[in-house]
């Protein structure tokens, strides 16, 4: 491969050049503290919520595109004198310095990233990871002199602080350019630089960046560190060869530590850098609130305690070994030995790893999701459970409770919620009518994996309102009944603002620039129906019936209540099933919807958007049409009309003009995103549907067409990471078919 290769034994993806088509990133963290790190050292860190607790700054739409995270500089100095000058400077991660390296390798592992590089006979190894149960990122830097002469290397590491709220940090400059605050501490041969913006006012948390070695200088002012006309590739203090020991007062606070390493031939020295996040009780914020001389000095004991856990190489190695053992245990829960190296690799390692990361993030933060708006998705988080629940069931249980707590009393739900507050995101609102049914899907998956019936009796509030708690089973009941009571003129469920396809906005009718297609409703006639939700209701309504029949008695239901409710729900399911097979059938495939005028969407009668993938997958997974040939016919139509070398497109033909009655879906260029792109998320529905229809070879063929390992040799075209799925691959009608986006 030009760029890379899999190392299955090490569970790593090995990248041999920094010049990948796009930044290829890894996610570090398992619980509350997370870092994104690219193969050239870009990224950012946050605690729980990338909007409300952003720790380091990242600039979207930046040039070059990859930036942020911890910036490392190695400077070969002309002497060990105080006024020594740099002979040459490079970054062990290539960026930000961009100095060509003599050798480079990035190993993206399971929960860690390693950079191995060399320049002028100086080898470096930088290992980054987030330890278990720790709100910190650890960076171990090993520097080795392979020359036959002594050398002096100045190692500088820096981070740029985000002022906590990522939205405010990137917009409210008239205010936040005057709020940044720092503290500097030299403690036991180590230097700790603290970010304490707003700590004296309303916050009880701070961050720090520390190194386990005496420093020869530091900087906390970005302006001092970079200089007036320099960027992160050539900071002024690096060019000068000397830190300024600057103290930030507002403007742009950073943390940069400079350490001098004098290396004999063959000698290796190691440094440990810790980026940590600390929360303290509000009555314990200050070092000594009763001492006037110490007013405003933050309580650093928790930071010291955290830092001291990683001050030696042995401690760092132990923490990394613990992390590796954790992942080895998790991945041993489920594995296959198929004889197909690529299948085994993806199922046993990378699929499960991506499912874990996706569960943690729910798409809320990446290089493509800014983390500033969406938060955790109600639908998304429930779907994530399906691939994650076998890994850490107890986390899945808590996530179900968190999700259900954002449901409304009528069974509808907030479409998104913020992970820090767990409150619904009012900017997006609700009325995505598929959302409630996904709660049934997620809970059913949890019950099937664990048999933990106690979750059904867990008290869960509506909209996080104290005193509104009801058992989780009642939330599921209201989910299915929401669909029962929200059907259109054909007996098919109403779509609301949208369903799984957020860009199919049949009630929006937007012609005003800047309006959100997802939140504007200009023509909600109560008519627009989703055949896709119809399939969902048949599938997940059936799962709800299974739940009450298996566990109803354990939740306090009598046999009579269980029998009556199950029978009533089966009648509702049968009615929707029949409606989909009649009013939702186009002759050779399932319709996508009926619009606000009750006209067909996804029909051969249209010139564009004739067939959509979602109802074909969902309806067949629900068993609709398996008895009369409709399911088989729909899948044959998918293969004939939607399938290409890169996977199965979301629709065809793509829309060439804006269709106001359809919404955002028709606003994208042909072949991209929801307008004819290939969505990796819904391609598996077609695999599952084919398997249920006994089309085994086609089920596996669908899987292979866009599975990362099977298209690794096309990385020049696909561009995104070859070890994970991205959101979308450009479809056959696109100008650049096969190009991936949003990983």
The residues that are catalytic are 502
CB atoms within 10 A of CB 418: 21
What DSSP assignment string belongs to 180-218? Answer: --EEEEE-SS-EEEEE-TTTTTT--EEEEEEESS--SEE
The DSSP element (H or E) to which 444 belongs, if any, is helix 435-450
From residue 366, give the alpha-carbon distance in Å to each of 415, 421, 680.
Answer: 19, 20, 17
Beta-carbon neighbour count of residue 490 at 10 Å? 18
Place of tokens 């009579």: 560
Closest CA to 136 of 262, 305, 22: 305
Question: Do residues 651 and 732 make contact, with C-beta atoms less than 8 angstroms apart?
Answer: no
Sequence-ordered strand ranges (E) for 487-581: 529-530
474: Cβ–Cβ under 8 A, 6 or more apart, which residues? none
59/252 Cα distance (integer angstroms): 14
Structure tokens at 206: 């701070």
DSSP reduced 3-state for 700: helix
Residue whose tokens read 């499960």: 352
At residue 469, the 3 state secondary structure works out as: coil
Place of tokens 């890994």: 391
Which of 155, 123, 154 shows the shortest CA–CA distance to 139? 155
Mutual angle of helices 472-484 and 559-582, in 10-degree steps? 30
Determine the Cα–Cα distance for residues 173 and 489; give it in Å rounded to an integer: 52
Closest listed residue to residue 232, CA positions, set 93, 28, 76, 37: 93
Taking residue 712's Cβ as centre, other Cβ atoms within 10 Å add up to: 18
Q: How many CB atoms lie within 10 A of CB 2?
A: 10
Host H or E run for residue 634 = helix 630-641
| Dist. CA 154–CA 86, nearest whole Å | 9
Non-local (6+) Cβ contacts of 202 within 8 A are: none
State the Cα angle at 179 between 35 and 424, rounded to 5°.
55
Q: How many CB atoms neighbour CB 410 within 10 A?
A: 14
By the 10 Å C-beta count (0-12 exposed, 13-18 middle, 19+ buried), 201 is classed as: exposed
- Write out the H or E segment, with its range, that includes residue 618: helix 613-621
Q: Is the peptide bond before 64 cis (omega within 30 degrees of 0)?
A: yes
How many residues would you count in the chain? 743
> Looking at residue 260, what DSSP letter applies?
E
Q: Hey, is 271 helix, strand or coil?
A: strand
| Alpha carbon distances (Å) from 141 to 268, 305, 423 | 10, 21, 40
| Nearest-angstrom CA–CA distance, 304 and 94 | 31
- Upstream peptide bond of 653 is cis (omega within 30 degrees of 0): yes
Q: How far, in Å, are 64, 360, 707 from residue 472 at the CA level?
A: 48, 22, 36
- The structure tokens listed for 103 are 């050798």
């Amino acid at each position: 491969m030009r760029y890379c290769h899999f190392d299955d034994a090490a569970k790593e993806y090995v990248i041999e050049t920094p010049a990948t088509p796009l930044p290829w990133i890894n996610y570090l963290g398992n619980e509350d503290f997370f870092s994104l790190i690219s193969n050239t050292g870009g990224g950012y860190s946050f605690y729980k919520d990338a909007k409300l607790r952003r720790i380091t700054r990242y600039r979207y739409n930046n040039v070059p595109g990859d930036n942020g995270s911890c910036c490392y500089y190695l400077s070969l100095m002309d002497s060990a004198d105080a006024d020594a000058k740099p002979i040459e400077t490079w970054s062990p991660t290539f960026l930000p310095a961009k100095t060509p390296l003599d050798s480079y390798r990035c190993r993206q592992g399971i929960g860690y990233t390693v950079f191995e590089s060399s320049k002028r006979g100086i080898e470096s190894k930088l290992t980054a990871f987030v330890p278990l149960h720790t709100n910190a990122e650890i960076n171990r830097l090993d520097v080795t002199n392979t020359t036959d002469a002594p050398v002096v290397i100045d190692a500088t590491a820096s981070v740029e602080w985000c002022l906590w709220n990522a939205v405010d940090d990137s917009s409210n400059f008239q205010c936040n350019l005057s709020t940044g605050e720092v503290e500097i501490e030299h403690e036991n041969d180590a230097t700790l630089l603290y970010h304490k913006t707003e700590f004296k006012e309303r916050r009880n948390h701070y961050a720090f960046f520390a190194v386990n070695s005496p420093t020869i200088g530091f900087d906390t002012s970005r302006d001092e560190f970079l200089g007036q006309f320099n960027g992160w590739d050539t900071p002024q203090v690096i060019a000068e060869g000397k830190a300024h020991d600057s103290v930030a007062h507002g403007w742009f606070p950073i943390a940069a530590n400079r350490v001098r390493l004098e290396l004999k031939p063959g000698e290796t020295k190691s440094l440990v850098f810790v980026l940590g996040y600390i929360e303290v009780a509000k009555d314990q914020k200050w070092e000594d609130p009763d001492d006037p001389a110490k007013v405003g000095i933050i309580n650093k004991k928790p930071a010291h305690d955290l830092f001291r856990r990683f001050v030696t190489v042995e401690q760092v190695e132990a923490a990394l070994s613990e992390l590796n053992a954790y992942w080895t245990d998790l991945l041993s829960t489920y594995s296959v030995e198929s004889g197909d190296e690529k299948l085994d690799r993806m199922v046993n390692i990378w699929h499960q790893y991506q499912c874990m990361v996706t569960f943690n993030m729910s798409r809320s933060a990446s290089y493509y999701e800014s983390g500033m708006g969406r938060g955790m998705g109600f639908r998304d988080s429930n779907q994530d459970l399906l691939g994650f629940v076998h890994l850490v069931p107890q986390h899945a249980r808590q996530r179900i409770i968190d999700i259900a707590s954002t449901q409304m009393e009528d069974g509808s739900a907030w479409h998104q919620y913020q992970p820090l507050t767990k409150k619904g995101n009012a900017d997006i609102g609700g009325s995505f009518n598929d959302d409630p049914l996904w709660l049934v899907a997620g809970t059913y998956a949890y019950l099937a994996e664990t048999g933990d019936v106690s979750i059904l009796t867990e008290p869960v509030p509506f909209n996080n309102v104290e005193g509104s708690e009801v058992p989780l089973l009642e939330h599921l009941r209201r989910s299915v009944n929401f669909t029962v009571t929200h059907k259109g003129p054909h007996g098919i469920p109403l779509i609301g603002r949208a369903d799984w396809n957020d860009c199919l906005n049949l009630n929006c009718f937007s012609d005003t620039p800047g309006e959100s297609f997802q939140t504007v409703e200009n023509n909600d006639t109560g008519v627009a129906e989703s055949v896709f939700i119809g399939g969902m209701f048949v599938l997940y309504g059936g799962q709800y019936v299974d739940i009450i029949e298996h566990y109803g008695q354990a939740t306090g239901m009598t046999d009579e209540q269980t029998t009556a409710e199950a029978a009533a729900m089966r009648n509702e399911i049968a009615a929707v099933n029949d409606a989909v097979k009649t009013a939702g059938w186009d002759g050779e495939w399932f319709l996508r919807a009926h619009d606000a005028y009750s006209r067909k969407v996804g029909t051969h009668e249209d010139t564009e958007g004739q067939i959509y993938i979602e109802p074909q997958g969902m309806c067949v997974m629900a068993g609709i049409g398996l008895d009369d040939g409709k399911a088989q016919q729909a899948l044959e139509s998918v293969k004939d009309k939607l399938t290409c070398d890169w996977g199965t497109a979301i629709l065809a033909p793509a829309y060439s003009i804006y269709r106001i009655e359809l919404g955002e879906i028709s606003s994208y260029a042909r072949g991209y995103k929801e307008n004819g792109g290939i969505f990796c998320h819904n391609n598996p529905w077609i695999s599952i549907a084919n398997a249920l229809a006994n089309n085994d070879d086609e089920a596996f063929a669908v899987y292979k067409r866009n599975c990362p390992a099977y298209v690794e040799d096309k990385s020049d075209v696909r561009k995104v990471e070859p070890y994970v799925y991205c959101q979308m691959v450009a479809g056959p009608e696109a100008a650049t078919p096969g190009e991936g986006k949003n990983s």
